[in-house]
Amino acid sequence: MTKPTIHLNGTSGEALLEGYRTAMEAVGEAVRKLNNETHPNARDYYPQGNHAYQDAVKEHTERRVKLESVYNELMELAEHCDSIVTEIAQRRAERNRV
């Protein structure tokens, strides 16, 4: 994964971190809605044959896994930004103490 370099000429670490956190919240909400509101119901599939419901559950699970993968990537990017923002803040605090 290519992570952003936080420097003076680019987007601030705080702005990047906030953006990743906002995106994580949105993807997390999508995962919750997918799980709570769209899980296949066997009654909706039995007219299609014996395997239709099992296929639908498998496809549903694959969608959830994809969303969770995106969430995890955003988390990794947010953690990267957070560690750099924290490191920069610590350096500033040390300079101000001297």
Give residue-wise pLDDT tens across range 41-82: 999 999 999 999 999 999 999 999 999 999 999 999 999 999
CA distance 31 to 59: 14
Q: What pLDDT was estimated at residue 97?
A: 85
Backbone torsion region of residue 7, taken as left when φ is above 0, otherwise alpha when ψ lies between -120 and 50, otherwise beta: beta
Determine whether 64 is exposed, middle or buried from the number of CB atoms within 10 Å of its CB (0-12, 13-18, 19+): middle
Q: What pLDDT was estimated at residue 57?
A: 97
| Residue 21 pLDDT exceeds 90 | yes
| Count of all residues that appear for the chain in the document | 98
* Contact (CB, 8 A) for 14 and 22: no
